[in-house]
Structure 1
Amino acid sequence: MEKFVKATSNNLPRVDIFMVHELLKRDNRFNSAEIAGVKASSSTRESYGDNARGYVEFKKEGPLCSVKARICPEHKVRSKAYTIETVINEEEETFIDVCCKDCAAGEGGCKHALAFLMWLNRRTEDSSPTEVTSYWKKPRLSNVGTTIKFVEVRQVSPQTRNSQQMKVF
């Protein structure tokens, strides 16, 4: 039995949009009122999935590939990240299972699982044969509020020569 290894752009399984569509159509967890509509569309947006995704690892056992990732909560970025696990049959190009282990809505097909599915799909679409990217990183979303404590006016709007010459009465 193989151990999980750090995921990179050249060792992730291929996930196309048709695989994602078939999973969402087949799995009743993703057809509930809780996940449909606004939550689904907001969780699948690129800005959330790319910033919330943390450490990704995978292992292969024959045609099956298991991929695990940590997804940072969108509203409580200091909280413990959720663990998403997927099992993909690479020969049949189908998802066997997708689940979120840590969130309360995980049994009902949560938005974190959707965000990770769409992230996997985007990584398949933008892969380059010569470039290797490591996905073993802390999520960018978890850094919110850690570096900048306040913003000064001059940082928001750089002064131009005309604004420096204006006088306030």
Structure 2
Amino acid sequence: MEQGFIKANSSNLPRIDLLMLGEFFTSNNDFCSAEFRHVKTSISSRPSYGDDAVSYVQLKRDGKICTVKGKICPEHKVHAKLYAITLVVDEEEEAVVSVQCHDCVASKGGCKHSIAFLLWIHRRSEEPSCTSIACYWKKSKLSRVGTSLMYMTTKDLSNGAPSLPLNSGVLDKFLDIGRKKKLNNCELLKYQ
């Protein structure tokens, strides 16, 4: 663990809601490109990848800024070096400042690992537990494949989580933010 950081758990992670995600994706040029619509990126945002690949999450609060660092297991080389991810959130303004993967080749242009980590924290903040605290300072499930865990079934990967009902208010807010910022080259806005 790094100096000044504490182990992340379900009670101390920053809250990231859908509006914060929408505002971050529309205002960040790394994620408003043709690359963002590709299958590889959309697959990395699925819960089954992020929930199984994220490990060793730590955080530090410095005034209104919360820095969250974690490790993410590469999807195809599960025994390779874990990629380091850093997320910076302004909790007072309720805005995601940045998210960056430090180790993969595509890290300069908004890679799939940063999306997986950001959406993992979003899912954790949407499901707060009132009675128990889950620790996130642990080895990822995905990196255990081939050691004590010989294989994972599709049922294990999906975790049996039901899909959420549609909320058109979030989409409308996302589109309004894109229009206000006058984004013309955002792939997400082109499809709407």
Q: Distance in 2 between matches of 1:137 and 1:40?
A: 25
Q: After TM superposition, what 4+ stretches of structure 1 lie above 3 angstroms from structure 2?
A: none
Of the two, which has the highest radius of gyration? 1
Q: Distance in 2 between matches of 1:149 and 1:59?
A: 35
What whole-Å deviation, never above 9, does each CA across 1:13-52 have from its counterpart, x for those lacking one?
A: 1011111111111111112323323122100101000000
**TM-score normalised by length of structure 1:** 0.84
Q: CA RMSD in A?
A: 1.5
With over 3 angstroms needed to count, the CA separation of the structure-2 counterparts of 1:8 and 1:148, relative to structure 1, is closer
* Residue ranges of structure 2 left out of the alignment (5+ in a row): 152-192
* Residue ranges of structure 1 left out of the alignment (5+ in a row): 151-169
Aligned to 1:68: 69
What whole-Å deviation, never above 9, does each CA across 1:99-129 have from its counterpart, x for those lacking one?
A: 0001110111000000011100110111112
With over 3 angstroms needed to count, the CA separation of the structure-2 counterparts of 1:133 and 1:28, relative to structure 1, is same
Task: Please tell me whether the aligned partners of residues 87 and 95 of structure 1 are also in contact (alpha carbons under 8 angstroms).
Answer: yes
Aligned to 1:16: 17
How far apart are 1:149 and its partner, in Å? 6.0
Q: Return the letter of the residue paired with 1:138.
A: K
Q: Return the letter of the residue paired with 1:74.
A: E
Q: Distance in 1 between matches of 2:104 and 2:43?
A: 17
With over 3 angstroms needed to count, the CA separation of the structure-2 counterparts of 1:148 and 1:124, relative to structure 1, is closer
Aligned to 1:103: 104
Matches within 5 A, 1:6-155: 6-147=7-148
Task: Please tell me whether the aligned partners of residues 13 and 90 of structure 1 are also in contact (alpha carbons under 8 angstroms).
Answer: yes
Q: Return the letter of the residue paired with 2:80.
A: S
Task: Report how many residues are paired.
Answer: 149
**TM-score normalised by length of structure 2:** 0.74
Q: Distance in 2 between matches of 1:33 and 1:76?
A: 26
Q: Distance in 2 between matches of 1:56 and 1:46?
A: 17
How far apart are 1:96 and its partner, in Å? 1.1
